[in-house]
């Protein structure tokens, strides 16, 4: 059965910061995935699915709402182990996501022990299932994309820190952008294949750029000068631990590869600073500790990923420099 067409990332209106973060994660999955924050109706699932396209033929797997631990990690059939002399493993969501993207909607509403488990496997690339002294392990290398609406509850700081990058979406696009969002969505719904064909050149250019960056990545050193600059800024931001330093350095290198450079420059460090620091600053942790528990934390909220984003003017970096809008974000 032919997989139905889905909205191409190159046709998404706006959300340039998130599209950049997703591209960087596709270039270097060791960055550790992306946590997307924003209200409902911000096309978070549409954007996350676009990452699977950038990774090639990898699967895009969604963690079902209310999934149990067994559904997540898989199960071992002990009766088969006794009768056949070997354990029979029934794969879970983690096994199915191997080599692709695991999308977790409303990750802040998952039980903490499931979030811990997800993040541990995402970091190690291996899932191990044990039952009554019998164990099974398998590869589970995937890019973890989590979404959350902060109004419905926060993640603990220890769990926030485990996500490589963090991006917040603005819930109020300008009227012109809103019009583009609706028009492109209507065009896609009316003729998905024709719409995808229209955006195929821009999508091919995006894929080519990501592939070239992946091939270039190993040639770019994680040099001491860039590391020293990053560690100074992490210290100045009051970041606990050293995960931010490592993620920031990897993301800066991926950004250099994205630009086509062979060395990490100051513009690469600045371009990804907020991605690495936003969810790790101490003031955010302090706000979470003092904030009352939001209402509705016990229920899940399904996101349908309606809407699409795309062309926006150049964005300002933290140093005030203007970032070039890549060709893949422009209309065909």
The residues assigned a catalytic role are 243
Residue given tokens 């300002």 in the structure block: 316
What are residue 37's phi and psi, to 5 degrees?
-110, 140
Residue given tokens 């420059």 in the structure block: 265
Which tokens in the block code for residue 203? 């999508």
Task: Report the SS3 class of residue 289.
Answer: helix
Max CA distance (Å), the chain: 68
What are residue 75's phi and psi, to 5 degrees?
-135, 155
CA separation for the pair 203, 209 (Å, rounded): 10
Residue given tokens 């991006």 in the structure block: 167
Q: Nearest 5 degrees, angle CA 198-CA 199-CA 200? A: 95
In the sheet that holds 165-168, the strands lie side by side as 60-62, 101-104, 143-148, 34-37, 165-168
Q: Are 53 and 62 in contact (CB under 8 A)?
A: no
């Amino acid at each position: 059965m032919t997989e139905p067409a889905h909205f191409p990332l190159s046709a998404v209106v706006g959300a340039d910061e998130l599209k950049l973060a997703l591209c960087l994660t596709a270039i270097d999955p060791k960055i550790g995935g992306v946590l997307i924050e924003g209200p409902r109706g911000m096309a978070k699932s549409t954007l996350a699915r676009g990452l699977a396209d950038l990774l090639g033929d990898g699967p895009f797997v969604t963690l079902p709402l209310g999934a149990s631990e067994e559904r997540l990690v898989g199960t071992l059939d002990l009766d088969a182990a006794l009768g056949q002399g070997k354990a029979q493993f029934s794969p879970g969501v983690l096994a199915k996501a191997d080599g692709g993207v695991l999308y977790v909607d409303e990750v802040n509403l998952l039980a903490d022990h499931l979030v811990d488990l997800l993040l541990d496997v995402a970091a190690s690339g291996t899932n191990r299932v044990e039952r009554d002294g019998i164990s099974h392990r398998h590869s589970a290398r995937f890019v973890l994309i989590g979404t959350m609406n902060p109004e419905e509850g926060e993640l603990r700081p220890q769990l926030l820190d485990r996500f490589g990058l963090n991006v917040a979406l603005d819930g109020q696009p300008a009227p012109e952008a809103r019009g583009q969002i609706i028009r492109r969505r209507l065009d896609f719904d009316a003729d998905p294949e024709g719409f995808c064909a229209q955006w195929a050149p821009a999508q091919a250019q995006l894929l080519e750029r990501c592939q070239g960056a992946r091939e270039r990545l190993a040639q770019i050193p994680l040099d001491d000068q860039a590391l020293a600059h990053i560690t100074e800024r992490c210290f100045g931001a009051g970041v606990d631990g050293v995960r931010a330093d490592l993620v920031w350095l990897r993301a800066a290198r991926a950004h250099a590869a994205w630009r086509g450079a062979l060395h990490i420059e100051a513009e690469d460090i600045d371009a990804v600073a907020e991605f690495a620091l936003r969810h790790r600053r101490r003031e955010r942790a302090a706000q979470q500790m003092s904030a009352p528990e939001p209402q509705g934390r016990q229920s899940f909220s399904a996101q349908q990923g309606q809407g699409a984003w795309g062309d926006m003017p150049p964005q300002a970096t933290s140093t005030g420099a203007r970032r070039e809008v890549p060709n893949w974000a422009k209309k065909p």
